[in-house]
Structure 1
């Protein structure tokens, strides 16, 4: 990433356009515990209605990965985690993450609060770093390497 360049995560409406491009529609409803669901029969991504657009965008990005993969049923934990890691790369700016970690330490919940993200996104980011898929950032934190 270029010095001084700010990483902008995709907005909800941009992700909705991605969904349309993949032949899916996006709807919100009370999901009673689920953050989001992909219904391949109805070609609909359901997002918990209580979420702000910023948090709904994270869930939508996750469900879009299921659409792209052609998933038609619940996936194993390893697949869900891999998808969360892809989402984390879209929404976390490496420099901002490194700065937050250098200020408050590695606790995912505290970093999530600092970055205004759900904890699951930060945990996914950190999982990549622990696996060795990370490189040192200029302020000393670890950031995941982009996939090849």
Structure 2
């Protein structure tokens, strides 16, 4: 299943994951109000830094939030990748039957845009790095 996701980032840029197809993409659904999201944010930052050299891209989807709280969250945790601002939670319907049922939820899409891995709840670098690395190696 290939999700269709597009929207405007917290910085005002337009993003469409169809434009990112051909690369491994990690998509994290989060909100600044979410305690487990705060717990996993440093793990995602580390994953982003460690997997970027493997050609892995990251995209957040900030749901049910307000823009100033979301931007403060990104500054606090040093999140350097873009996040679609989705206060109504409509963007995530692009996952169709695999739409997230909890926050945080993280998907790894392969180069074809298919969901290759899924984590519901806060992830850890230690558990998720080997998964991303293996998907990137398979796709190389």
> If the length of structure 2 is used for normalisation, what is the TM-score?
0.28
Task: With a CA cutoff of 8 Å and minimum separation of 6, indicate the structure with the bigger relative contact order.
Answer: 2
Larger Rg: 1
Greater percentage in helix:
1
